[in-house]
């Protein structure tokens, strides 16, 4: 496949993903309607709080503002800007432009690393991730993704390897962690 054709395919895929994001984001609720989301701090009926982390791979403030402008003609109008609990994190890599492995490692562990590394610090030492922390506290855990479970972003929440391309090692770490739920997709070309 030629470089130009690959670029055009990636561009088309990015535009489709942005269109899907925009179409899935309702505008702010009219004042006469009930809120779509209740306060996340309130535990479920059984008294056990739930924590769900949603990671939009490559999704930053700029992409959200573009989606808001496209859908509503102004910024900050996507409903997700009104969620009661949300956060931001700096995922800058010492490598320069951050890749998804280093970025997701920062999200999953709070530790900065070099591009291409998953779940390890600058010295290649394993850093405890959110899944391991939750498991150690007796919480149920899971990872759900629309790509392969061994892909850099989901793997950063479950594995510790010095290269994002060590798929077998990532899979072994994932199996050792034993999440309660593992759902993945994707296709290897």
Residue 40, pLDDT score? 44
- Quick one: which H or E segment has residue 183? strand 181-183
Which DSSP symbol is given to 142? E
Residue 168, pLDDT score? 96
Residue 178, pLDDT score? 93
Residue 3, pLDDT score? 53
**Side-chain half-sphere exposure of 83, counting CA atoms within 13 A:** 13
Query: Residue 28: how many CB atoms within 10 A of its CB?
Result: 14
| First and final C-alpha spacing in the chain | 12
Residue 164, pLDDT score? 97
For 24-166, where are the alpha helices, taking DSSP H only? 61-72, 100-109, 130-136, 152-155
Picking from 26, 106, 115, 38, the residue whose alpha carbon sits closest to that of residue 71 is 26
Measured CA to CA, the distance from residue 158 to residue 172 in angstroms comes to: 10
CA dihedral 92, 90, 21, 165 (to 10 degrees): 40
Measured CA to CA, the distance from residue 40 to residue 49 in angstroms comes to: 8
Picking from 151, 158, 189, 160, the residue whose alpha carbon sits closest to that of residue 175 is 158
Measured CA to CA, the distance from residue 143 to residue 129 in angstroms comes to: 13
As averages over each run of 10 residues, the pLDDT of the chain (189 residues) reads 48 41 38 40 61 79 90 88 78 86 93 96 96 91 92 95 97 94 80
Picking from 77, 63, 100, the residue whose alpha carbon sits closest to that of residue 25 is 77
Render the burial of 58-67: b for 16+ CB within 10 Å, e for the rest. eeeeeebbeb
| Residues labelled as active-site residues | 100
């Amino acid at each position: 496949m030629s470089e130009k054709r690959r670029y055009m395919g990636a561009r088309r895929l990015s535009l489709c993903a942005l269109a899907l994001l925009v179409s899935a984001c309702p505008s702010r609720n009219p004042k006469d309607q009930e809120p779509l989301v209740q306060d996340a701090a309130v535990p479920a009926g059984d008294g056990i709080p739930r924590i769900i982390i949603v990671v939009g791979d490559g999704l930053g403030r700029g992409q959200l503002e573009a989606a808001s402008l496209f859908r509503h003609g102004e910024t900050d109008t996507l409903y997700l800007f009104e969620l009661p609990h949300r956060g931001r994190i700096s995922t800058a890599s010492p490598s320069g432009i951050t890749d998804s492995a280093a970025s997701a490692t920062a999200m999953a562990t709070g530790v900065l690393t070099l591009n291409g590394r998953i779940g390890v610090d600058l010295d290649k030492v394993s850093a405890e991730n959110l899944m391991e922390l939750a498991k150690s506290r007796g919480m149920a855990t899971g990872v759900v993704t629309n790509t392969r479970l061994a892909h850099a972003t989901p793997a950063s929440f479950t594995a510790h390897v010095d290269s994002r391309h060590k798929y077998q090692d990532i899979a072994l770490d994932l199996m050792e962690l034993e999440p309660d739920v593992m759902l993945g997709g994707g296709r290897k070309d």
